[in-house]
């Protein structure tokens, strides 16, 4: 007899056929003649009720079952007289798989703070909130791959260890096998990396973009979706030291095509999760962020307004609003500026283009004014920036000049420059932090609560 997931059983029509259920006990109600167990196996927000008739069965394991214990049971699925479920299981056989002593099991039947649950991240997915978060995260992961595969993109695995700093910011985790207590030094007292594993300085990647660009130059449309790392000492609700990035790259594509693709992609993944995670999204709508379903539907059904950075600055200055961070041309937009544009001015998603070159990465294509680059940021209500991208600089001399201006070592980018030397073409791409997407879809306030095991300053537990 095959074991079904609780999600499947709850929509099964009762019959005389026996059903096996396995899961973790959420609650137990015990009386002289009857007992009721609520089991959950993670497949659904809902539990299945197990009814035990003590006049017919004397299960010696019953007394050992408490909240958190894992249970195996077999019985008939019948129509439930209760109001909260259509079916329940009348147990004929029952066995405890793993006990969970009530005296020290951390997840009792009460509401726990998210801060507390972060300290027990190995158990928090057994709660309603975090079970729902991870099911939505799973659905979004699938939607990402489905979108790109359906649109003839090739999936490329880019390296975790790199010698290139994609963003030029220098906030990278160093990778070394050298003894930190006995570092080899050169004659001028600098660290001699020729003794290191790779023979040169190496780090964890901050982005797969530069690497995936090489494959766009041969395969056309490609994407990478993997872990990235930032050694940024930001102890905030918006930053992680380890996170996942979605990064498509498209050859023969300019900034306009890039914006079209970003809008289409975002609408697809939001539609997918609303269609396939209805139960979990209803939970978030009720308990985490009221109105979030309508908010996401509004984005899906909206035309994304497109304005230049210069237009955005003019509109912010003309608004008469007193921002916490005053804005002027040449400065990057802050969250409050992005929210004003999306929530008050345009009342919908906005794509801002053509940023000053000084505040954007070296690889972005320079405009004819020599002041701005063909960057684009997708802004959405409630969050602000959700996608950042650009048309890439595909002229060899201009790219070399930008690398030097950024203070980077051109020798580290010899292969990246080669792409502009041999058969260069216009190409574009964008990046989307996956955890930021999950946070946006679920309404969770802290990014540490949308990744299984968060990494941030001072914390690398689990």
Query: Which of 168, 152, 420, 148 has the alpha carbon at shortest distance from 268?
Result: 148
pLDDT (average), residues 329-347:
97
- Output 170 or 26, whichever has higher pLDDT: 26
pLDDT at site 79: 92
| Intra-chain end-to-end CA distance of the chain, in Å | 36
pLDDT at site 110: 81
Query: Tokens for 360?
Result: 């954007």
Question: What does the radius of gyration of the chain's CA atoms come to, in whole angstroms?
Answer: 27
Long-range CB pairs of 338-342, under 8 A, 24+ apart, other chains included: 338/379, 338/384, 338/385, 339/381, 339/382, 339/384, 340/316, 341/307, 341/312, 341/315, 341/316, 341/379, 342/379, 342/380, 342/381, 342/384
What is the rounded average pLDDT for all residues in the chain? Answer: 95
Q: What is the pLDDT of residues 385-438, one digit of tens each?
A: 999 999 999 999 999 999 999 999 899 899 999 999 999 999 999 999 999 999
Q: Is the pLDDT of residue 169 over 90?
A: no
Long-range CB pairs of 122-125, under 8 A, 24+ apart, other chains included: 122/462, 125/42, 125/452
**Least confident span in 84-88, 198-202, 375-379:** 84-88
- Output 409 or 296, whichever has higher pLDDT: 296
pLDDT at site 111: 87
pLDDT (average), residues 334-340:
97
Q: Is the pLDDT of residue 168 over 70?
A: no
Q: Is the pLDDT of residue 319 over 70?
A: yes
Query: Which of 441, 298, 322, 312 has the alpha carbon at shortest distance from 375?
Result: 312
Q: Is the pLDDT of residue 281 over 60?
A: yes
Q: What is the pTM of this model?
A: 0.95
Query: Tokens for 450?
Result: 């949308």
Q: Is the pLDDT of residue 299 over 60?
A: yes
Query: Which of 323, 333, 325 has the alpha carbon at shortest distance from 353?
Result: 333
Contacting residues for 58 by C-beta, under 8 A, at least 6 apart: none
Q: What is the pLDDT of residues 126-149, one digit of tens each?
A: 999 999 999 999 999 999 999 999
Query: Tokens for 14?
Result: 């009762």
Quick one: pLDDT band at residue 171, thresholds 50, 70, 90? confident
CB atoms within 10 A of CB 197: 12
Q: Is the pLDDT of residue 247 over 70?
A: yes
Quick one: pLDDT band at residue 84, thresholds 50, 70, 90? confident
pLDDT at site 8: 95
* CA atoms lying within 13 Å on the CB side of residue 45: 16
Query: Tokens for 286?
Result: 């009720």
Q: What is the pLDDT of residues 444-460, one digit of tens each?
A: 999 999 999 999 999 99
Q: What is the pLDDT of residues 373-398, one digit of tens each?
A: 999 999 999 999 999 999 999 999 99
């Amino acid at each position: 007899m095959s074991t079904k997931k609780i999600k499947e059983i709850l929509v099964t029509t009762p019959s005389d056929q026996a059903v096996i259920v396995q899961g973790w006990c959420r609650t137990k109600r015990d009386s002289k003649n009857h007992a009721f167990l609520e089991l959950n196996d993670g497949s659904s927000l809902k539990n299945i009720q197990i009814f035990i008739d003590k006049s017919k069965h004397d299960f010696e394991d019953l007394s050992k079952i408490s909240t958190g214990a894992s249970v195996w049971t077999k019985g008939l699925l019948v129509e439930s007289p209760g109001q909260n479920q259509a079916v329940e299981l009348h147990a004929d056989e029952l066995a405890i798989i793993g006990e969970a002593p009530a005296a020290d099991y951390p997840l009792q039947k009460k509401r726990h703070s998210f801060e507390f649950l972060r300290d027990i991240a190995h158990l928090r997915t057994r709660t309603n909130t975090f079970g729902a978060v991870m099911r939505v995260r799973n659905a979004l992961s699938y939607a990402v791959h489905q979108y790109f595969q359906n649109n003839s993109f090739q999936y490329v695995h880019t390296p975790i260890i790199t010698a290139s700093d994609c963003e030029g910011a220098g906030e990278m985790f160093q990778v070394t096998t050298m003894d930190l207590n006995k570092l080899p030094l050169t004659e001028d007292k600098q660290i001699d990396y020729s003794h290191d594993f790779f023979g040169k300085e190496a780090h964890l990647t901050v982005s797969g973009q530069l690497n995936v660009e090489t494959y766009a130059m041969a395969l056309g449309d490609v994407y990478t979706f993997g872990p990235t790392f930032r050694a940024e000492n930001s102890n905030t609700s918006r930053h992680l030291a380890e996170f996942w990035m979605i990064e498509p790259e498209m050859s023969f594509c300019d900034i306009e095509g890039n914006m079209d693709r970003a809008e289409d992609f975002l609408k697809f993944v939001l539609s997918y999760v609303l269609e396939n995670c209805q139960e979990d999204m209803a939970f978030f709508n009720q308990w985490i962020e009221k109105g979030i379903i309508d908010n996401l539907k509004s984005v899906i059904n909206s035309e994304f307004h497109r304005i230049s950075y210069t237009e955005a600055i003019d509109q912010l200055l003309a608004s008469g609003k007193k921002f916490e961070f005053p804005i002027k041309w040449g400065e990057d937009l802050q969250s409050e500026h992005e929210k004003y544009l999306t929530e008050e001015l345009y009342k919908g998603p906005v794509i801002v283009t053509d940023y000053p070159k000084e505040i954007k990465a070296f690889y972005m294509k320079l405009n004819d004014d020599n002041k701005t680059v063909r960057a684009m940021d997708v802004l959405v209500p409630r969050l602000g920036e959700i996608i950042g991208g650009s048309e890439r600089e595909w002229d060899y001399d201009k790219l070399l000049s930008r690398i030097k201006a950024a203070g980077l070592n051109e020798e580290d980018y010899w292969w990246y420059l080669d792409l502009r030397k041999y058969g260069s073409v216009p190409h574009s791409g964008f990046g989307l932090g996956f955890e930021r997407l999950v946070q946006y879809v679920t309404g969770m306030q802290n990014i540490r609560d949308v990744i299984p095991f968060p990494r941030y300053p001072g914390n690398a537990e689990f």
